[in-house]
A and B are shown apart, each in its own frame.
Chain A
Amino acid sequence: MLFNSYLFILVFLPLTLFSYYYIAPLLNLKNIPKHQCRLFILLIASLIFYGYWNPKYLFLIGGSILFNFFLGLKLHSLTQSVSKKFLLFLGVSFNLALLAYFKYANFFVENLEIFLNSTIQWEEIVLPIAISFFTFQQIAYLVDVYNNKTKEYKLLNYSVFVSFFPQLIAGPIIYHNEVKSQYANLHLQKKIYNNISLGICIFILGLFKKVVIADTLSDFSDPIFLANAEGNKLVFIEAWIGILSYTFQLYFDFSGYSDMAVGLARLFGIRLPFNFNSPFKAINIIDFWKRWHITLSRFINDYLFTNIAIRFLRFSMKKNLTNLHFLLSIVLPVIITFSLSGLWHGASWNFLLWGTLHGFYIIICYFWGMLCKNIKIEFSKNSIYRLFSILLTFISVTLSFVPFRAKNIESSVSFYRSLIPTKDISLPNELIGYWQLLIEKYLNIIPYFNFNFTEKYILSIENLQNSFVFVTISFFIIWSFKNSISFAQIKNDKLIFPQLENFKVNFLGVYFVYIMFFYCLISLTNIDPSSYLYFQF
């Protein structure tokens, strides 16, 4: 079931909310605590939500939950460090093996075939939705139990922690000790109407980002990347329209999804962390990763990067490897971490390239920072420098999304080639006549370039105009609006977990949200709800 479908918005969600707030208290008959009834409703709803795609994967998620829950119990009861370590190793391996089988087996076989130059009898495995996300969440849980940071004795609470439908399919990736007391105290919730009104606002904002902005942008990026995948050469302007539309599409799609998740959870009184904080306002690439897919970045930092980097660092200090110090302490851990993060997004060389590219970006950014510090130049105060760095970060990120979207490495390379300006810039031949005079008069003032009207564009002239409009609007929204976290009026230390006790919408705000909602509903008619880009990961 998709958040942006009539079934979800008009049937599933109202029914779940009704059962949660009105039926759950009625179930309170035989000494069952009230919050358990509510949790039970959430679990049933989540299983229906997940099973709607393919009921047979309920066994997969159910098995995974049971295995990790009982392993966590055992892990918590052990004190002896050797057997505890072994159990943790077993648990993490099991989760990774499950992920490897469903996600990477096809990729492995494919490359083995190329390597051996023969075909292998192999039935392609379908990737069960959500597996990347619930695997990570449960690995984090096991490690936290191992380090005595958290524990869970109740299977019901644990199952809801993993399967809670707002965050099940594509995050945010939450830690168990962030939500365990929330799930245990569902009956003590206060300010229910406050939560509901805030939840609705954030949900509709997310829905609007997805249905109205991202889905429209996909009308421009999809045909261009399709032509690229089929081996057609793109012209300069169209290639840039394609990659800019895709960058904005991805952002609005995923941040819209994350907003919807946060808003939906809030309807049930649960606070989930925000996943985005205006990433395109970042002043460098390190800053970008503090703002883009925040919960993945922190998972990777907490469970992967710190572990790798501190070991490399200690090793190089112990052996006194001064020459290799930078390589060992910074370059290697960063590249390894980002390559793995790339591979997590998907089993292909493209994602590996994307991840590694970001790894190199980070290293360049880090050394630039060191250089500025050493020669004692402080640029950051200068507003022109700031503007330049925001633009540079934006362009670097945009360029990195070429392999993220393109079909394979060859199409990525050909896409990159099209992005480089040449002396002759061709405009669509449909423009001859109407705009011709104007263009020849003004564009030809620009030195060096030659403009001509030879090329047939992939997008129709109407879509071309729309794409210009939408890309410009996206720029405007991204750089001049406050983001959805700003609803929460929060201080820095609560950045991704806004408290927000006294949320009030004013009349104007209510009407605005209503209009957005109805516009979304109208936009949904007659089309199959489009899937989310991050579902494939």
Chain B
Amino acid sequence: MNKKIYLKVYKIFDDIFNLKKIKLKKLTNANDISNWDSINNLKLIIVLEKEFKIRFDPDEIVEIKNVGELIKSIEKKIKF
């Protein structure tokens, strides 16, 4: 995982979900963060899109199941 991207993602997660003691690991998913629901997920996507200047398709959004996959797909998008 790219450290720079991870830190940015962490900050955005903290803003939206109020992480407190929850650690953000690769396998952290919607069941670990209590208010990570469908609506907040879209909010998260929109903020990430702005931050990294990328764009997700709807089918990519539903494909992402945890933090690791999210960061991977951001990395992929930035590269291209």
Chain A residues close to B by CB (< 8 Å): 143, 147, 149, 286-287, 290, 301-303, 305-307, 309-310, 313, 317, 329-330, 334, 362, 366, 369, 373, 380, 492-493, 495
B-side contacts of A303, CB under 8 Å: 62
Residue of A nearest to B65 (CB): A493
Q: Which of B3-11, B31-39, B70-78 contacts A (4 or more CB under 8 A)?
A: B31-39
C-alpha spacing A493/B63, complex, angstroms: 14
Query: What's the least CB distance linking A272 to chain B, in Å?
Result: 18
Interchain CB contact (< 8 A) of B29 among A307, A330, A493: A493
Given contacts A149-B63, A317-B46, contact A306 B32 (CB under 8 A): no
B-side contacts of A493, CB under 8 Å: 27, 29, 31, 66
Is the Cβ of A495 less than 8 Å from the Cβ of B31?
Answer: yes
C-alpha spacing A369/B37, complex, angstroms: 12
Query: What's the least CB distance linking A388 to chain B, in Å?
Result: 17
Residue of B nearest to A290 (CB): B37
Is the Cβ of B45 less than 8 Å from the Cβ of A380?
Answer: no
Besides the contacts A301-B38, A310-B61, A493-B66, what 17 more A-B pairs have beta carbons closer than 8 Å? Answer: A147-B59, A290-B30, A301-B62, A302-B62, A303-B62, A305-B38, A306-B58, A306-B61, A306-B62, A307-B58, A309-B42, A310-B45, A310-B58, A330-B39, A369-B35, A373-B18, A493-B31
Residue of A nearest to B37 (CB): A286
B-side contacts of A366, CB under 8 Å: 39
User: What would 18 A/B residue contacts be, using CB atoms closer than 8 Å?
Assistant: A149-B63, A290-B30, A290-B37, A301-B38, A301-B62, A306-B38, A306-B61, A306-B62, A309-B38, A310-B42, A310-B58, A313-B42, A317-B46, A366-B39, A380-B34, A492-B31, A493-B31, A495-B31
Query: What's the least CB distance linking B9 to chain A, in Å?
Result: 18
Number of B interface residues in the complex (CB < 8 A) = 20
B-side contacts of A330, CB under 8 Å: 39
Query: What's the least CB distance linking B47 to chain A, in Å?
Result: 11
Residue of B nearest to A147 (CB): B59
Query: What's the least CB distance linking B80 to chain A, in Å?
Result: 17
A-side contacts of B27, CB under 8 Å: 493
C-alpha spacing A302/B38, complex, angstroms: 9
C-alpha spacing A495/B63, complex, angstroms: 17
C-alpha spacing A290/B39, complex, angstroms: 13
C-alpha spacing A301/B59, complex, angstroms: 11
Given contacts A373-B18, A380-B34, A492-B29, contact A309 B39 (CB under 8 A): yes
B-side contacts of A305, CB under 8 Å: 38
C-alpha spacing A362/B42, complex, angstroms: 15
Residue of B nearest to A330 (CB): B39
Is the Cβ of A149 less than 8 Å from the Cβ of B59?
Answer: yes
C-alpha spacing A143/B57, complex, angstroms: 13
C-alpha spacing A354/B32, complex, angstroms: 30
Q: Which of B14-70 contact A (CB under 8 A)?
A: 18, 27, 29-32, 34-35, 37-39, 42, 45-46, 58-59, 61-63, 66
C-alpha spacing A531/B27, complex, angstroms: 41
A-side contacts of B30, CB under 8 Å: 290
A-side contacts of B38, CB under 8 Å: 301, 305-306, 309
B-side contacts of A149, CB under 8 Å: 59, 63
| Best-surrounded residue of B29, B35, B39 (most CB of chain A within 10 A) | B39
B-side contacts of A380, CB under 8 Å: 34
C-alpha spacing A362/B35, complex, angstroms: 13
C-alpha spacing A479/B30, complex, angstroms: 23
